[in-house]
Structure 1
Amino acid sequence: MLTHTRANNAALASLVADIAAADGDYPTAIPALMIYRRNAVTAPMPCIYGLGVGLTVQGGKRVTLGNEIFDYGPGQSLITSVDLPVVSYVTQASVAEPYLGVRLELDARLISQLATDPDFVAGAKASGGRAVSVVELDDGLLEAVSRLVALLGEPTLMPSIYPLILQEITIRLLNGQHGPTLRNLVAQGSPSQQIARVLSWLKVNFAQDLSMEALAAKACMSPSTFRQHFRALTGMSPLQYLKSLRLQEARQVMMNEGLDAGSAAVRVGYESASQFSREYTRLFGAPPLRDIKRIREAG
């Protein structure tokens, strides 16, 4: 069985390497599918992981969430069921044996539809826990992802077939070891679902002046219960989460719209430019202007 799994992973690695012939990120004609190649280890990069699954096909990757560390190598996958501010970096890569990775964005509506279908037979029951997990890939999932990547070579058939393969992958995820993490997202009335609704709201309204009491009310919880379930799901406090969202957005608008640090701070909800600069430096390792210059010089 182990030999068969390695063979399936090697087949997927060959498909990915054919597409990602050079170092970089590769969006594909399948909107949910991204392919990555790195020829060297990378510096830690703060970013937001949304609902999706990442596969390491070759090399190694590390994701940190607060004080927790998630390493995943060939044949392993990391899933996130809500938007999470993480720090991500490649830990094993070289020109001779580059890091190769695949990222699939998942459809919350499809997950909900499948998980609540009375004819759907689920695996392990959903339980409370973090909105991120790392597990070994089984052969069925590896083969389904390989078929999805191979479908890029059949542009005429691709639009009709890729939604079916994505549905198969979602079913396999729900039935596998990632299933409890995903079903927490859609378990009606569960604390995870209530917190997930607040996270979706925060993603759009993070620049507003927000109080803990108002956020707790949106989750229909007391402030103390809200903080407890929020940390259990995301690995951080609501304040830490909000701060990460604001700083990530500030970085994006400085990069994409050319805003200065003061304007970006106001845009994302900061009243104090000095506080913004301190917290930005703590997260990204350099003051705003120096950080943006470093990114642009790195291409």
Structure 2
Amino acid sequence: MHQPTSAFPISAYQQELAQLIQRHAPSEGIHVSAVAGLHFRRISHETEPAHTANVPSLYVIAQGAKAVTFGDETYSCDVLDCLVTSVHLPVSGRITQASPGFPYLSVQLEFSLDMIMDIIKASQQKWDGKTGPGFLVSSSTPSLLDAVIRLIKLLDTPDDIPFLAPLILHEILYRVMQSEQGSIIRQFALIGSQAQRITKAVHLISRDYSKPFLIEELAQEVNMSPSALHKQFKKVTAMSPLQFQKVIRLQAARRIMLTEDLEAAEAGFRVGYESPSQFSREYARLFGRPPMSDVKHLRASMNTPEA
């Protein structure tokens, strides 16, 4: 049983969290748990940048370190750092500290805006009205770690999960919303807020990424002026709407080439590019290599045995 959080050193929480993750993630990669939305990561080597589209989630690093690039900013994320993504965002992550004897370990907890709205209603928490980024890094707190550990321990008593997991999940989100990330999350759950309109714009672009769009039409869809949409969209995603669409397209093309073995030109057309040369140029700018060279490199790295 945990001691009171005020008397329990945060390093002890870190050690217990790392031990739990190692137990539930005994091998490399991502491990899905019996608690909905709760995942574990174990990586035993430093990695090249991996480009992903993050879903609304809380991440806590228990061991190792990583660098996350969001827009033009790169954040160094260390042990006990807490990463919150409040809207679907394309980001780049690179493990910077890991080895077979000291693997990178982290826990991810996905959440929905409905959960956030429930907490706002129950706690009557306020929002300052400002629009902020959809991604933030800060330090974990003992009370947050205590709740995360208790949620993970439910995996040892599966019969308790249906009843207790939702309660602990709400506690975790409540703790997050009491911290500096609170206003960042609240803005996306409040009807009529600029951030909620941007969330809708993100959804529309992500859903129809292969189709061209006019900023004026998108602005009308989300009930904003074109200038306000452009400004607020960049605040939340660190990109303009067109830049956001480009990254989503290129990530989709990379995934298609890996899974369907398509040539670069065909993948480019599939995601909305009309010019193969433009596709190759923009792909290389984002991923560091031309399309087919990048895919060949990725396949080779996937087939490399662990040290």
Q: TM-score under structure 2 normalisation?
A: 0.91
Q: 1:41 aligns with which of 33, 41, 46?
A: 46
Counterpart check, 1:6 vs 2:19: no
How many residues end up aligned between the 2 structures?
297
Shift of the 254–217 alpha-carbon distance from structure 1 to 2, 3 Å rule, reads same
How far apart are the structure 1 equivalents of 2:298 and 2:272?
Answer: 23
Counterpart check, 1:200 vs 2:203: yes
Structure 1 stretch 214-223 or stretch 270-279: which is displaced more? 214-223
Q: 2:183 aligns with which of 180, 191, 210?
A: 180
User: SS in structure 1 opposite 2:159?
Assistant: coil
1:33-182 mapped onto 2 (5 Å cutoff)? 33-115=38-120, 117=121, 119-122=122-125, 125=128, 127-182=130-185
- Cα deviation, residue 229, structure 1: 0.9
Contact 2:119/2:170 (CA < 8 Å) preserved in 1? no
* 1:212 aligned partner: 215
Structure 2: tracts of 5 or more residues without a match: 1-5, 303-307
Q: 2:258 aligns with which of 252, 255, 258?
A: 255
Counterpart check, 1:274 vs 2:243: no
CA deviations on 1:41-72 (whole Å, 9 max, x unpaired) are: 11111211121111111111111112112222
How far apart are the structure 2 equivalents of 1:74 and 1:2?
Answer: 20
Shift of the 93–3 alpha-carbon distance from structure 1 to 2, 3 Å rule, reads farther
How far apart are the structure 1 equivalents of 2:266 and 2:7?
Answer: 54
How far apart are the structure 2 equivalents of 1:107 and 1:230?
Answer: 20
Contact 2:114/2:189 (CA < 8 Å) preserved in 1? no
Contact 1:123/1:179 (CA < 8 Å) preserved in 2? no
* 2:240 aligned partner: 237
CA deviations on 1:250-297 (whole Å, 9 max, x unpaired) are: 112222233332222122111111111111111111222222222222
Structure 1: tracts of 5 or more residues without a match: none
Shift of the 209–123 alpha-carbon distance from structure 1 to 2, 3 Å rule, reads closer
* 2:249 aligned partner: 246
Q: TM-score under structure 1 normalisation?
A: 0.93
Q: 1:15 aligns with which of 7, 16, 20?
A: 20
- Cα deviation, residue 124, structure 1: 6.6
Structure 1 stretch 266-275 or stretch 17-26: which is displaced more? 17-26
CA deviations on 1:6-57 (whole Å, 9 max, x unpaired) are: 1112111111112222332212222301111122211111211121111111
**Letter of the structure 2 residue corresponding to residue 99 of structure 1:** Y
**Letter of the structure 1 residue corresponding to residue 201 of structure 2:** V
Contact 1:126/1:181 (CA < 8 Å) preserved in 2? no
CA deviations on 1:207-230 (whole Å, 9 max, x unpaired) are: 112112112222222222211111
Q: 2:296 aligns with which of 285, 293, 296?
A: 293
Shift of the 272–192 alpha-carbon distance from structure 1 to 2, 3 Å rule, reads same
- Cα deviation, residue 2, structure 1: 8.6
* 1:32 aligned partner: 37
Contact 1:51/1:106 (CA < 8 Å) preserved in 2? yes
**Letter of the structure 2 residue corresponding to residue 112 of structure 1:** M
Contact 1:51/1:83 (CA < 8 Å) preserved in 2? yes
How far apart are the structure 2 equivalents of 1:135 and 1:150?
Answer: 24
How far apart are the structure 1 equivalents of 2:82 and 2:69?
Answer: 15
How far apart are the structure 1 equivalents of 2:73 and 2:123?
Answer: 33
- Cα deviation, residue 101, structure 1: 0.7
How far apart are the structure 2 equivalents of 1:259 and 1:169?
Answer: 43
